[in-house]
Amino acid sequence: MRIVFMGTPEFAVAPLEYLVLNGLEVVAVYTQPDREAGRGRATAPPPVKITALKLGLPVRQPANLKPPEERAKLAELKPDVIVVAAFGQILSRTVLELPPHGCLNIHPSLLPKHRGVAPVPAAILNGDVFTGVSIMKLDTGVDTGPILARAQTPVSDWDTAGTLTEKLSRIGAHLLVEILPRWIQGQVIPRQQDGAEASYTNMIKKEDGEIDWTKPALEIWRRVRAYQPWPGSYTSWQGKQLKIIEAAVLPDGAGNPGQIVPLTGEIAFGVATGRGILGIMRVQMEGKRVMSSGEFLRGQRQLLGASLPGE
């Protein structure tokens, strides 16, 4: 079985590693071009490229696969199947029809729920008790192809988009190596998705992280988790950005939205919202390290009784 793997971010690393560790033949890895990253804007390779090179696999980084010469190079590899995991490019019909066993995509949701670009944050924002991974055969729609296999996992109260993505990456890797040989041997019957049950996710923007304290504490808490690590959930204090890294919904308490409420114990203070109190556990002031709410409060006594900006 000749496999071409296409993926870019950390989510795609475990599936690539599992393919190789299980003795499956990966003839090439396609990933996005190196990009500028970090404060110094130095050029950095994507995580999949780093992993592929460590595994001794050939790496290709075309800006896109539309030029005929790029499709010709892909065809020369004679892949039996193409495995896609958060590649970052839309594959044309020509590419989809190139391998005899099609292009299989690892999607981090229980399709048809949460189709689109941000399924992991969407599961947290939606308050889903369970989410999971779907292995689907790609078609020209947005995550509309038939499903080969699914696996689900609970969403814990402390899962962030970061921790949940890591968990789903490992689940997807296990599911992939289990289903792929059976798919090649014709032992898997794809199941068509029910479009009536579909939901779609939107691209997350930097400004989505700004906290609106008039929202209920439950909704803000979900946003804190869903937008971790990016774009983060933030407000401002004394003219600087203040990120809320970890929080909890408290059952009692009231105040005007944005008002700081003193608390006791591990949670040193909370913020009144449109409904309930959001207990603040860890924060990060602009230019500073992450610290507990108690440590932050010891250096910011004027915070008590103040109000944070919001809608």
The identity of residue 82, as a single letter, is I
Least confident of 22-31, 35-44, 58-67: 35-44
pLDDT per residue as tens digits for the range 102-115: 999 999 999 999 99
Q: How far apart are CA 79 and CA 5, in angstroms?
A: 10
At 311 the pLDDT is 56
Q: Right CATH number for 2-201 from 3.90.650.10, 3.30.420.40, 3.40.50.720, 3.40.50.170? A: 3.40.50.170
Q: Which CATH superfamily is domain 206-303 in?
A: Formyl transferase, C-terminal domain (3.10.25.10)
Rounded Cα distance between 64 and 32, Å, is 8
The full set of domain ranges for the chain reads 2-201, 206-303
pLDDT tens-digit profile of 34-51? 998 766 678 899 999 999
- The pLDDT > 90 percentage for the chain reads 93
pLDDT at 267: 94
